[in-house]
Amino acid sequence: MHVEAGHGILEDMERRRVGILGATGMVGQRFIQLLNNHPWFEIAWLAASERSEGKTYGEACRWKLDTPMPARIAAMTVMPNTPEAQPAGELPIPKIIFAALDADVARELEPKFAAAGCAVVSNSSAFRMVEDVPLVVPEVNADHLALIERQSWRRPSANGLPGGYIVTNPNCSAIGLVLALKPLEERFGIESLFVSTMQAVSGAGYPGVASLDILGNVVPFIKNEEEKMQEEVGKLLGSLADGKVALLDAKVSAHCNRVAVEDGHTECVSIKLRTKASREQVLAAWAEFVPLAGQRLPSAPEQPVEFDAAVDRPQPRLDRMRGHGMAATVGRLRECNLLDWKFVVVSHNTIRGAAGAAVLNAEVLARLGKLEMKSARPDAVLV
């Protein structure tokens, strides 16, 4: 089949059937928006809680995005949230499952799908820090995907076919941050960093933070968020050796705040580098950071870190959609009186920070041959 991708890329490839777990939530809706008409993937199965099961997607979902719910998806039935027991006459569940579940639910359900032979591409925090589960942003640490071969579900069955696995993407604030940090870590090393976030309300799911709590207000607490950011940055920027990730040896301190912004997280960062770098060297590190160039991945932005020189940018309303919502925008680079440099980064929390990140992870897995359960190549690397 010859298809044209949304971003002008031509591919000869059968579209693979995929499923979405948690399809009715904020991230689930983004999955539908991003996967509808995706050149490599076709939405074939949707599931959510038992409250939604058996309804059409149109009945079950309170659609909150500014593009219409696709008619084909609206007519689909929300299936039971299990890899077994599909209603009579339905096709078996797809081998690729995008998951957008709360952590408690993910902890119970994701292993069941991996054990049933599915590639589970997850947004949840439930397994991010587990030793053999890759926590991946493809521009930052695609090599960590090799960890899936260590997962118990992956062992070949009696017929020799490799089994399923879980791959995760980070917390929505950690993603924008590590995109800005990776080029600096590569060239200069990072000794310590301080980050203070202003996080959009859509990051809390739907209905999320009550309007009476957030309107005209800032809430200086997001449960577990500071801990997640600190530990995830260490794993994402860590190095893989002997089948384990050695965490980045840097001090990280995060303050996380919820603000009355609909979409797009803003982060103020101060950083101390191991080797001194000039302003020009920092800007060059960001500008020359194109680790996925030539891979022709439909969701990868051409320039993952975009610098804006304007004195008052980046701003979430103006900059969150750069790179189709997949780029991180940096700006306000200036010397820091406490550490070396300080800057601001903005990224879209439900696209780059969630569903788009997972779709890009799946595209890399496709390129590596790790979605071909019959012929996966454990030693494949992205070159």
Is 63 an interacting residue with respect to ligand NAP (CB under 6 A)? Answer: no
Considering only 22, 94, 183, 234, the residue that binds ligand NAP (CB under 6 A) is 22
172 is catalytic: yes
Is 135 an interacting residue with respect to ligand NAP (CB under 6 A)? Answer: no
- Amino acid 64 reads K
Q: Give me the sheet containing 119-122, strands edge to edge.
A: 41-47, 16-21, 96-99, 119-122, 165-168
- In the complex, the smallest distance separating the C-beta of residue 244 from ligand NAP, rounded to whole angstroms, is 25
- Binding-residue total with ligand NAP (CB under 6 A): 29
Using the minimum distance from each CB to ligand NAP, give the nearer residue, 28 or 298. Answer: 28
Instruction: Quote the radius of gyration of the chain (alpha carbons, Å).
Output: 20
Using the minimum distance from each CB to ligand NAP, give the nearer residue, 263 or 340. Answer: 263
Using the minimum distance from each CB to ligand NAP, give the nearer residue, 321 or 336. Answer: 321
Is 172 an interacting residue with respect to ligand NAP (CB under 6 A)? Answer: yes
Q: How far is CA 107 from the centre of its chain?
A: 18
Return d(Cα 288, Cα 291) in angstroms, integer. 9
- In the complex, the smallest distance separating the C-beta of residue 125 from ligand NAP, rounded to whole angstroms, is 6
Interface segment toward ligand NAP; rule CB under 6 A; list 49-57, 187-195, 225-233, 372-380: 49-57
Residue numbers 218-257 binding ligand NAP by CB under 6 A: none
Is 197 an interacting residue with respect to ligand NAP (CB under 6 A)? Answer: no
Considering only 16, 24, 237, 316, the residue that binds ligand NAP (CB under 6 A) is 24
Return d(Cα 93, Cα 324) in angstroms, integer. 30
CB 52 within 8 A of CB 79: no
CB 200 within 8 A of CB 244: no
CB-nearest residue to ligand NAP = 25
Interface segment toward ligand NAP; rule CB under 6 A; list 45-53, 141-149, 219-227, 287-295: 45-53
CB 23 within 8 A of CB 46: yes
Is 205 an interacting residue with respect to ligand NAP (CB under 6 A)? Answer: yes
- In the complex, the smallest distance separating the C-beta of residue 127 from ligand NAP, rounded to whole angstroms, is 11
255 is catalytic: no
Residue numbers 88-117 binding ligand NAP by CB under 6 A: 100-103, 105
Among all chains, which residue has been given the structure tokens 């301080």? 194
Using the minimum distance from each CB to ligand NAP, give the nearer residue, 79 or 271. Answer: 79
Return d(Cα 245, Cα 238) in angstroms, integer. 6
CB 118 within 8 A of CB 141: no
Is 329 an interacting residue with respect to ligand NAP (CB under 6 A)? Answer: no
- In the complex, the smallest distance separating the C-beta of residue 287 from ligand NAP, rounded to whole angstroms, is 27
- In the complex, the smallest distance separating the C-beta of residue 144 from ligand NAP, rounded to whole angstroms, is 18
Contacts of 372 by beta carbon, 8 Å cutoff, 6+ apart = none
Is 11 an interacting residue with respect to ligand NAP (CB under 6 A)? Answer: no
Return d(Cα 324, Cα 145) in angstroms, integer. 24
Interface segment toward ligand NAP; rule CB under 6 A; list 44-52, 113-121, 130-138, 249-257: 44-52
Catalytic pick among 38, 172, 324, 348: 172
CB 77 within 8 A of CB 58: no
Q: Where are the beta strands (DSSP E) in the chain?
A: 2-4, 10-12, 16-21, 41-47, 96-99, 119-122, 165-168, 190-199, 218-219, 239-241, 244-246, 251-259, 265-273, 305-308, 328-335, 341-347
Instruction: Give contact residues for ligand NAP (rule: CB under 6 A).
Output: 22-28, 47-49, 51-52, 81, 100-103, 105, 123-124, 172, 202-203, 205-206, 349-350, 353-354
Residues involved in catalysis: 172, 265
